Amino acid sequence: MDNDVFWNTVPAFAISGFSGSGKTTLIEQLVPQLVAKGLNVAVLKHDVHGVQVDYPGKDSDRLYQAGADVVLQGADECFVRRHGREPLSLQQSLQALVPYYDLVLVEGFKEAPLAKIWLLAEGEAGPPKDGQNVLAVLSRDAPRLPQALALLESWLPERWCRVPVYGCVLIGGKSTRMGRPKHLLEHQGRTWLEHTLDSVSQVVDKVVIGGRGEVPSHLSHYTRLADISDVPGPLAGMVAAMRWAPQSSWLMCACDMPQLSVDALRWLLQTREPGVWATVPDLLGDGHVEPLLAHYDPRARPLFEALLSRQCYSPSRLASQPKINTATPPAHLLGAWRNVNSEAELATFQNVIEKSP
């Protein structure tokens, strides 16, 4: 992702102002309000006077003074203290935080190309002339908390939906029950693969084909992604796609859903909102989800990587995470999720299609 795209999509908002303007106070008030809305919030602060976060003589400080970077893990919190041998830039710091947070509040950094609120200090008439992207100027006597909260509530959803959406059509299955490659089955003169690619192409910025398998020559212009090695099942293709474009969100689509519709894909994309890291539909409302026609935010990738680290290869396990939306699609769209795995199911599908108006 180039710099322009990064700064145009990163969910980071600055609270800026000169010393004594009340930056920390406002952020301290904002955080519990945002967390109560289900958001994971981080705060990035720069201190020109240096950082003092430990106590001399404590074991952790002694280890740090000896030259080690120190990680402390408690029951419900974790603390990392590292030496500033190569200080991180603002962009590097944000890139490290964004995969785990819905919003990063940045204190200070008035020259950064971030949307920001400028807080006026006592006797100050306005922000500096070189201030960039100042969306609001709040005086000392302004109702700062409600005004800042209202601005963030309108700004963050729009920023969230700027993230590019890619589509991955998965063809890596062995099709053992069908006895032949499902993605090459035909309906109305087109393969299921072609139907799926055409449908997904209408709602995303780029489409790729994930997994092994024969692809007709007239579809050879699509990017092919190899499955990651030593991982069984569709998770191998899903994680390969997310590693290939980690800053994009992904529509993951199996190739065996011949009734896939553009309207169903649009419904999935309409579920994007801050705090939702994936929409994995529960089709019947019974707790069983369909992860192979679903939308995944970039923040879902670390969750998938955690599954891999535990040698858990079922993508449906992601639904147990608190940031996952398992909404049931509208009834008129449910057919898009109906997959066909065997000759008997294929015959049923063909019979239904023939009888439909």
How high is the pLDDT of residue 100? 95
**Strand ranges across the sheet with 278-279:** 223-225, 206-210, 165-170, 249-254, 293-296, 278-279, 324-325
Q: Any residues with CB less than 8 A from the CB of 290 and at least 6 apart, and which?
A: 280, 281, 283, 316, 337
How high is the pLDDT of residue 60? 80
Tokens of 73: 């893990």
- What is the per-residue pLDDT across 287-319, written as a single tens digit (0 to 9) for each? 999 999 999 999 999 999 999 999 999 999 999
Which domains, and CATH codes, for the chain?
3-160 (3.40.50.300), 165-355 (3.90.550.10)
How high is the pLDDT of residue 51? 60
Q: Any residues with CB less than 8 A from the CB of 209 and at least 6 apart, and which?
A: 168, 169, 171, 193, 197, 215, 219, 222, 223, 224, 225
**Stretch among 106-110, 321-325, 328-332 having the lowest mean pLDDT:** 106-110
Q: Any residues with CB less than 8 A from the CB of 281 and at least 6 apart, and which?
A: 268, 289, 290, 293, 294, 326, 327, 328, 329, 337
Amino acid sitting at position 238:
M
For residue 8, pLDDT beyond 60:
yes
- What is the per-residue pLDDT across 248-287, written as a single tens digit (0 to 9) for each? 999 999 999 999 999 999 999 999 999 999 999 999 999 9
Q: Are the C-beta atoms of 14 and 117 separated by less than 8 Å?
A: yes
Mean pLDDT over 42-62 rounds to 75
Q: ∠ at Cα 30 (153, 33), nearest 5°?
A: 70
For residue 127, pLDDT beyond 80:
yes
How high is the pLDDT of residue 124? 86
How high is the pLDDT of residue 298? 96
φ and ψ of 50, to 5 deg: 95, 170
Amino acid sitting at position 234:
P
Q: What is the pTM of this model?
A: 0.90
